[in-house]
């Protein structure tokens, strides 16, 4: 599963359009305070457009699923390779209007060992909320969450037998 290119490109195009508008405004205004504000907005929006473009061009998978396990690059833990023997179940969860892929693992605390303090705090919060540190936000990914859950559960169950 990869990030959606469409969403990132849309953000980049909007940011670029507003950046051009901010440059035009800075050029037209007579007040130095308005010009300073417009130039700072143009710089910020230019950076947003650049970062969004880089994200759209990045084709690194956020999640890879195969017969042996899954590779996580989308959760705050970024656990890497997780074999199916460590996975209890894979499920979809909704919190408000946001959807998540939740990978329940047998020993969630072992994923905290090598994390930096900021990622460790995020993982501990996820363990308290969901019982696992492997929670991947799904809104910007390119496949259906329900389909991925079905495929992952089928692979997990076939690996267990």
* Rounded Cα gap, residues 101 and 135, in angstroms: 6
Kindly state the percentage of the chain with pLDDT values over 70.
Answer: 96
E strand intervals along 46-144: 63-65, 69-72, 80-83, 87-95, 98-105, 134-137
* Rounded Cα gap, residues 119 and 83, in angstroms: 21
Output the pTM of the full model.
0.69
Say if CB 130 and CB 107 are below 8 A apart.
Answer: no
Q: For all residues of the chain together, what is the average pLDDT?
A: 87
Q: Confidence band (pLDDT; 50, 70, 90) for 1?
A: low
Polymer length in residues for the chain: 161
E strand intervals along the chain: 63-65, 69-72, 80-83, 87-95, 98-105, 134-137
């Amino acid at each position: 599963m990869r990030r959606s290119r469409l969403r990132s490109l849309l953000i980049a195009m909007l940011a670029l359009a507003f950046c051009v508008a901010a440059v035009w405004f800075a050029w037209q205004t007579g007040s130095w305070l308005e010009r300073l504000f417009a130039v700072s907005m143009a710089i910020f929006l230019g950076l947003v457009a650049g970062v969004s473009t880089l994200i759209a061009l990045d084709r690194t998978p956020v999640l890879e699923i195969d017969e042996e396990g899954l590779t996580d690059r989308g959760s705050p833990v970024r656990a890497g390779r997780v074999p199916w023997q460590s996975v209890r179940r894979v499920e979809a969860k909704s919190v408000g209007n946001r959807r998540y892929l939740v990978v329940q693992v047998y020993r969630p605390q072992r994923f905290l060992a090598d994390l930096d303090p900021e990622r460790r705090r995020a993982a501990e919060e996820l363990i308290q909320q969901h019982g696992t540190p492997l929670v991947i936000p799904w809104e910007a990914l390119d496949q259906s969450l329900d389909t991925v859950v079905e495929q992952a559960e089928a692979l997990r169950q076939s690996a267990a037998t």
